[in-house]
Amino acid sequence: MELLSQDLPPVEIVGKQLIHRVLFALAVLIAALAGSLGGLFLVYSTDLPQVEELESYRPSSVTEVYDDQGRVIGSFALQRRVVASYSDYPPVLWQALISIEDKDFYRHWGVNVWRTFGAAYRDIESGGKVQGASTLTMQLARNLFLSPDRSFHRKIQETLLAIQIEHRFTKQQILTLYANQIYLGHGVYGFEAASEYYFSKPAKQLTLEEASLLAALPKSPVYYSPIVHPDRALKRRNLVINGMLEDGKITAQRAVAARETPLGLDLAHDLNSLAPYFVENIRRYLENKYGSDRVHEGGLRVYTSLDVDMQRAARKAVLDGLAAYEKRQGWKGHLENVVDEGAELKTYENPDWDDEAEVGDYIHALVTAASGNSAVIKFGRYSAEMTSADSAWTRRKISEILKPGDVVYVKILSLAANGRASVDLEQDSGAQGALVAIDNGTGEIKAMVGGRDFNESKFNRATEALRQVGSSFKPYVYTAAIDKGARPDDTIVDEPVAFQTESGPYIPHNYEENFEGTITLRRALAQSLNIPALKLANNMGIQTVIDYARRFGISSPLPPYLPVALGAAGVSVLEQTSAYSVFPDDGVRIVPRDILKVSDYEGRVLEEDYPDVKDVISARTARLMTSMLQSVVEHGTGVAASSLKLPLAGKTGTTNNFTDAWFIGFSPSTTCGAWIGYDEQKSLGPRETGARAALPVWMDFMKAALAGKDPGAFQPPPELPPNPVAQKLDKADDAAPEEEAR
């Protein structure tokens, strides 16, 4: 027994040995853990992006298009983003964002350890993937460098990147990067772009309620969309407000008032909708020169010639002119019916509804109910009841012409906050219109309308369509004659005449089927008589007339036969309008231009355009022709324009069978061309001349464009020496016109 007791170690010895063993085990565990972490670090950091890239990082940003006053008229982007600085955002937005997304943002070093462990424990316990607990810095790392998948691998990389970002950048810089990068729904990236989209204001002007709504969106922009799910968005916004109250950023009284405030959305209109055909021209040019990637991601600044106010006037003039034409033609019906096509009334959406409606707009609407003398229609979030008074021009009962499911064309007369509207029934039979306005002094295109509805047809009838111009071609004939020595008071005989052709004799006639006998050139042009124009062209040779048209800038094909003198050739509205600007410009042509300057993201000028001036005719000829074209307005086919009491001149144009109606005219400052017709060679209807269909459009535009401005005055024509015996210009032979024009 004594020997056995001596072999047992004392308690102290046993304790020390146990401690040594525990310490050794801990050392091994720590070494293993360190090795594992080191190995993990090596594994997950081998393909880790370089955070240093952020120092020169610039996110994809919007290319903006401006009018001549610096107002935005369009934009191009893959991601709708406006890059802003830290000071561009109000403190209330930062407070709201931090309260809901990362309360410890200013205290952590990129990772909130306790939140991460807590989230990981919950995920392991539930068997789900690693998620949650991301700081703003981790969200930034994920959005900039990583895929959106929720995996352990991505979470480790996200953490490592966040630590690096925090080490290299200040908190303000991190917030700014985050604010410019985060997706906030409906194609919008960054809080500045979101503020402009949801509230039509810059972020600096955000209120508490508005800032809280934007801060609510990063969690799930689709689920909390204030447009699609306003109830969810409201609850989430109020949660942000509660978080700010808990953090002591706002008072209880202010929180209560904010929670009771409606969402208050003021959605921005589609910038490209005001001048879509003009903006599309700009896009095509830029992509051709700079490439699609640079245009849609490079944040270019494009300064154009367009004038927003004149563009609005042009758009209204064309649409009102088409509406007046449609009503003259009477109700045609043949409406699209979505029910017949298998769609449901509740789910139907029209492209016209993508943009916020405005009073005065013409829009397609859906008939949801119709009976007796009334019908209920809807467009977007608005509905309206139409009565017989709103469709009186059809001379039919509403129930006879409309049924549920019909897609009708209406003009918006009023809009109420409660979603009620009042409208007039209109008609869209397919007739189209185009208008171009040019500043005489600079050649700058101030307005362009390429059709009735860009959503339905992207074809630009102002630049791409070559339409027969009718009698609006005749000024080139008279210009050639005046330039070669003729005078406005020289005479010519308007009488039946035969032109010999290879196919035999041809006897042309005037629009009114009458002949005026001996008349002056001034009157022949003012009354748009065909025979005198043909005689002049035949005497000089049609090639001479074509050569003059070329000098005016007409580049479209002009076949060398006599009917071209009456406008039997296709010319674009832009070409014809630009050509007419030669007259008020004293014989000088300034090549039309739409882009004035393009600069890159840093403000470096990439290109700058200056007027390209070309001599066309003498000032004497230009002033005499201007005087003759004034006679068209004073007592000729364009006499209706004399009611504007402005210095105006111009020429009507009507083609055979009334397929095209034109008026091209000018004031001392502005030249404008208007055209009405169908895309196919279809008659507008009996007596739908340039004076009846196109001139009212031109007048409406010019009245609005020149309102409140000094109209100026035309240069007086030169005094001509006495002409006791006016020259008689009379001769005819060889070619036959195929178009009768007026």
Name the CA radius of gyration of the chain, rounded: 37
Other Cβ atoms within 10 Å of 6 Cβ, number:
7
**Residue type at 97?**
L
C-alpha pair distances (Å), 709 with each of 403, 706, 712: 48, 5, 9
Question: To the nearest 5 percent, what fractions of the chain are helix, strand and coil?
Answer: 45, 20, 40
Any catalytic annotation for residue 196? no
**Virtual CA dihedral for 443, 449, 455, 457, nearest 10 degrees?**
-90
Distance CA 116, CA 288 (A): 50
Provide the sign of the torsion angle of the four alpha carbons 326, 327, 333, 339, taken in this order: positive
Residues 6+ apart with CB under 8 A from 604: none
**Which amino acid, one-letter code, is at 734?**
D
How far is it, in rounded angstroms, from Cα 116 to Cα 696?
71
Max CA distance (Å), the chain: 163
CA gap 615, 483 in Å, rounded: 14
What totals of helices (H) and strands (E) does the chain contain, helices first?
22, 25
Q: Is 422 a catalytic residue?
A: no
Please tell me the distance from the alpha carbon of residue 175 to that of residue 218, in angstroms, as a whole number. Answer: 14
Token duo for residue 713? 């005055």
Q: For residue 415, give both structure tokens.
A: 């809009």
Q: Contact 272/63 with Cβ under 8 angstroms?
A: no
Quick one: which H or E segment has residue 295? Answer: helix 292-297
Q: Which amino acid is at 571?
A: V
Q: Which is catalytic among the residues 471, 472, 528, 667?
A: 471
Q: Any idea what the Cα angle at residue 588 is, between residues 585 and 594, rounded to 5°?
A: 80
Q: Catalytic pick from 75, 99, 101, 575?
A: 101
Q: Which phi and psi (to 5°) does residue 496 adopt?
A: -55, 140
CA distance 101 to 178: 12
Question: What b/e readout covers 14-29, taking b as 16+ CB neighbours within 10 angstroms?
Answer: eeeeeeeeeeeeeeee
Residues with a known catalytic role: 101, 471
